[in-house]
Chains A and B, each alone.
Chain A
Amino acid sequence: QSVLTQPPSVSGAPGQRVTISCTGSSSNIGAGYDVHWYQQFPGTAPKLLISGNNNRPSGVPDRFSVSKSGTSASLAITGLQVEDEADYYCQSYDTRLNVLLFGGGTKVTAL
């Protein structure tokens, strides 16, 4: 059981906006630690999608954006594409446990 909670799956029609939530607590996201998001396709290594406050590595489309409020963060895909079908993970640091955390992962499907 992950300390960062994500929905197991989200889906939407191509072109729609979908969001993935990442719920933590006062010792990680709520303590102000940055939340990073990763994308993983089957059989490949994860890739950094968005780091901290909406910093996208070169090549990541701007249809991906993030937000944070209180003890939660969210990843939004605005204008879902078929090629966005993948697993997405949030990641942060927990100061009480002194560990890094990953969410359980969310599978995104374009219907």
Chain B
Amino acid sequence: EVQLVESGGTLVQPGGSLRLSCAASGFALSNYWMHWVRQAPGKGLVWISRINSDGSDRIYADSVKGRLTISRDNARNMMWLQMDSLRAEDTGIYYCTRKAGHASGMDVWGQGTTVTVTS
């Protein structure tokens, strides 16, 4: 079964750090660009970051640039999101998704992991 499973979400204080993980199974991670998407409570989807197939190119939303870092290990079928200098507005459900390219949609989503940034 093709699956993405996120983990690592928790409650953290402003200014703190966290690392989210995304474990892929049922397919070769190396064939896909991977993304993180956030959804704040009661709000819409916000794209956060993308990493290309071999990890050589990464792009970020302006709101997280310099604070969040996306990475991957194709041999382990894993992707991560290192989150530093966290702010209240980073609160939400974080989904990892896969995408084969610009012409393809995000066709597999994880169940999400919840990050709450509060003092």
Among A11-35, those with CB < 8 Å from B are 33-34
Give the docked Cα–Cα distance between A57 and B100 (Å). Answer: 14
Judge if A45 is at the interface, Cβ distance under 8 Å: yes
Q: How many A-B residue pairs have CB under 8 A?
A: 64
Asked if B45 and A105 make an inter-chain contact with CB atoms under 8 angstroms apart, the answer reads yes
State which of B59, B107, B112 has its C-beta within 8 Å of the C-beta of A48: B107
Q: What is the interface of chain B mostly: helix, strand, loop, or mixed?
A: strand
Q: How many of chain B's residues touch chain A, expressed as a range?
A: 20 to 34
Q: Count of A residues near B, CB < 8 Å?
A: 28
Among A91-111, those with CB < 8 Å from B are 91, 93, 97-105
List the interface of chain B (C-beta within 8 A of A): 35, 37, 44-47, 50, 59-62, 95, 102-107, 109-112
List the interface of chain A (C-beta within 8 A of B): 2, 33-34, 36-38, 40, 45-48, 50-52, 57, 87, 89, 91, 93, 97-105
